[in-house]
Amino acid sequence: MLKRTLKVRLYPTGKQKQILREIQIRCAKLWNRANYLIRQEYFKNGKILSYNQVYNFVKNSPEYKALPTDISQAILKKLSESWKSFKELKKLKEKGKLPEHIKKVSPPKYFKNRKLNQTLPMSIIPILAPRSYSLGDFSFSFTVPKDFKENYGIKKRLEILATYRIPYKNYKLKKAEILNKNGKWYVHISVEIPKKELKETKKVNYASIDLGIRNLITLAIYDEERKLIRIYQFKSKELLKEWKYWNRKIAKYQSKLAKSGYKGSSLKLRKYYENRNKRIKVAIQQIINKNKIIQILDRYGVKEIFIGDLTGIRNGKDYGKELNKLLHNFWIRKQFLNILKYKLEEVGIGLTPIPEAYTSKTCFNCSLEVKRPKQHFVICSNCGKLHSDTNGAINILKRGLKLKNLEWKKIGEVHLIWKFKQTNRWVFRYLRIYKKDKDKPLVRGQANNPPVGVATPKRSSYSPKSSPAFLMRGG
Ligand SMILES: [Zn+2]
């Protein structure tokens, strides 16, 4: 058996973050109480209490009972481990064999701000065993304190939106640790896998990319084994706003020049054009150069990408003069593909162009012709409503795989927006899930709330009012 860590990214909502922080404080309180007992005994008699002794002392305390048993016990285990390592380091020090990078050996500390006399949150929430948590296709759930269920209206477990990939077939889940790193939340799960399974990490999946207007890029990844389709939509709304802003400036200045009768070249005008194109460049660089797409493809073990053939505007749709200009912009068309190709070659992922005709006119699920009452949705009389770019990307995927039918169970549509004003990067917005049902082949699930400030590294204070609960458009 080999031990590995499965890293799962969590996207808690504002309310869920508050719950996590409260649990972190409770963890710290139990740690501090148990640590106090051990420290007292240690400084009095030089003895270190065992896990069982500590457990018997604190098992009826309010701090222990304020948490689910699997969290309380995991904290006592962690505390006991850090005392053990303290003891070992002390021995090494006495023998003069302390590793160079360790300067000082001191017993485990409290989570406390002494000046303010405040409990500090424990950096992790440990969970002892998989009976207290579970992994769903797009979520992580775990048992929370009993009083939380009433206070926050949690039915069974707290379910947090999550993205991850399981690269092994026969893995065994062990303990887990929820942690917060630079404002981002993760859960690290210890797994055990049979030795021969390591080969399974190789690339096995296929993906498709569709370039469009509403979404600069729509990426569809097919996980054949789990019958899941992951959709990443890079929404271009913010970018279009800026594109239009610069176009207005250019038009205004041009008419000013025309009125004055000036015929020569204008430095200012050229600057405007440069600025406009630079902004789009930055947005695309954030997708490719910062390896956003490469990371996603790598996480899900993609070996080949099908890309919609980009000759001509898709299916003759006219998006208006301004938007057509953007689509034909040199950078989007050429640079994007060139850089993508180069980057994919580096990591050994294939790129195959696919004819795009009719990929947005038929339903990916049943191949019937779809209606498109609004730009961003298609409606299939058989299957219901689906995001038009999602439908298009899956159709390209199907065509690339030469499939009549795509076997699938769930679609997770991850929406990313470009927040250039604040952060200049793509941030997670929300997830929408489509499920397959026996009677109705396409059932749209509930969308998760967008996590508040998930991309901002600084710690934002929680305010329940600021949670933008429903950003879903189009009903
Ligand atoms: Zn259909």
Lowest mean pLDDT among 23-32, 133-142, 349-358: 349-358
What do you get for the CA distance between the two ends of the chain, in Å? 49
More confident site: 31 or 11: 31
Reading the block at residue 444, the tokens are 């749209």
More confident site: 326 or 403: 403
CA nearest 139: which of 158, 166, 116, 120?
158
- The 8-class DSSP code of residue 97 comes to -
CA nearest 209: which of 283, 296, 307?
307
More confident site: 338 or 366: 366
Rounded to an integer, what distance in angstroms lies between the CA atom of residue 118 and that of residue 432? 40
CA–centroid distance, 380 to ligand 1, in Å, is 5
pLDDT at residue 57 is higher than 80:
yes
CA–centroid distance, 446 to ligand 1, in Å, is 20
Q: How many residues are given for the chain? A: 475
CA–centroid distance, 319 to ligand 1, in Å, is 25
CA–centroid distance, 136 to ligand 1, in Å, is 26
pLDDT at residue 471 is higher than 60:
no
CA–centroid distance, 445 to ligand 1, in Å, is 17
CA nearest 161: which of 49, 12, 300, 273?
12
CA–centroid distance, 25 to ligand 1, in Å, is 49
CA–centroid distance, 288 to ligand 1, in Å, is 33
Q: What is the pLDDT of residue 183?
A: 85
CA–centroid distance, 210 to ligand 1, in Å, is 20
CA nearest 409: which of 1, 86, 137, 64?
137
CA–centroid distance, 296 to ligand 1, in Å, is 28
Q: What is the pLDDT of residue 331?
A: 56
CA–centroid distance, 135 to ligand 1, in Å, is 30
CA–centroid distance, 34 to ligand 1, in Å, is 59
Lowest mean pLDDT among 29-43, 295-309, 317-331: 317-331
Reading the block at residue 88, the tokens are 């070992």
CA–centroid distance, 408 to ligand 1, in Å, is 13
CB 410 within 8 A of CB 229: yes
Reading the block at residue 472, the tokens are 């879903």
Lowest mean pLDDT among 234-238, 335-339, 373-377: 335-339
What is the rounded average pLDDT of the residues 299-313?
Answer: 77
CA–centroid distance, 302 to ligand 1, in Å, is 26
CA–centroid distance, 390 to ligand 1, in Å, is 13
Lowest mean pLDDT among 84-98, 224-238, 257-271, 282-296: 282-296
pLDDT grade for 325, boundaries at 50, 70 and 90? low
Lowest mean pLDDT among 31-40, 68-77, 228-237, 413-422: 413-422
Strand order in the sheet with 425-435: 350-354, 302-308, 205-211, 215-223, 228-235, 410-419, 425-435, 443-444
- The 8-class DSSP code of residue 216 comes to E
CB-based burial, 301-312: b 16+ in 10 Å, e otherwise: bbebbbbbebee
Around Cβ 390, how many Cβ atoms within 10 Å? 24
CB 395 within 8 A of CB 306: no
- The 8-class DSSP code of residue 441 comes to S
Dihedral sign from CA coordinates of 342, 343, 344, 345: positive
CA nearest 392: which of 364, 418, 415?
364
CA–centroid distance, 279 to ligand 1, in Å, is 38
pLDDT at residue 472 is higher than 60:
no
CA–centroid distance, 222 to ligand 1, in Å, is 18
185-231: pLDDT as tens digits: 999 999 998 877 665 556 789 999 988 777 888 999 999 888 899 99
Q: What is the pLDDT of residue 467?
A: 28
Rounded to an integer, what distance in angstroms lies between the CA atom of residue 473 and that of residue 119? 42
CA–centroid distance, 365 to ligand 1, in Å, is 5
CA–centroid distance, 392 to ligand 1, in Å, is 13
CA–centroid distance, 382 to ligand 1, in Å, is 5
CA–centroid distance, 409 to ligand 1, in Å, is 15
Q: What is the pLDDT of residue 97?
A: 82
What is the rounded average pLDDT of the residues 240-263?
Answer: 85
pLDDT at residue 460 is higher than 80:
no
More confident site: 178 or 307: 178
CA–centroid distance, 224 to ligand 1, in Å, is 20
CA–centroid distance, 364 to ligand 1, in Å, is 7
pLDDT grade for 18, boundaries at 50, 70 and 90? very high
pLDDT at residue 373 is higher than 60:
yes
CA–centroid distance, 366 to ligand 1, in Å, is 4
The residues spanned by each domain of the chain are 2-196, 204-466
CA–centroid distance, 378 to ligand 1, in Å, is 10
What is the rounded average pLDDT of the residues 266-288?
Answer: 83
CA–centroid distance, 351 to ligand 1, in Å, is 28
CA–centroid distance, 360 to ligand 1, in Å, is 12
CA–centroid distance, 473 to ligand 1, in Å, is 21
pLDDT grade for 436, boundaries at 50, 70 and 90? confident
CA–centroid distance, 130 to ligand 1, in Å, is 39
146-182: pLDDT as tens digits: 999 888 888 889 999 888 877 667 788 999 999 999 8
CA–centroid distance, 404 to ligand 1, in Å, is 13
Torsion, Cα of 235, 239, 245, 250 (10° steps) = -130
Helix, strand, coil percentages (3-state) for the chain, rounded to 5, are 40, 25, 35
CA–centroid distance, 369 to ligand 1, in Å, is 8
The pair phi, psi for residue 341, each rounded to 5°, is: -60, -45
CA–centroid distance, 440 to ligand 1, in Å, is 10
Cα–Cα distances (Å) from 256 to 243, 251, 253, 260, 269, in that order, read 20, 9, 5, 6, 11
CA nearest 415: which of 238, 159, 180, 277?
238
Burial of 16 (0-12, 13-18, 19+ CB in 10 A): buried
pLDDT at residue 351 is higher than 80:
yes
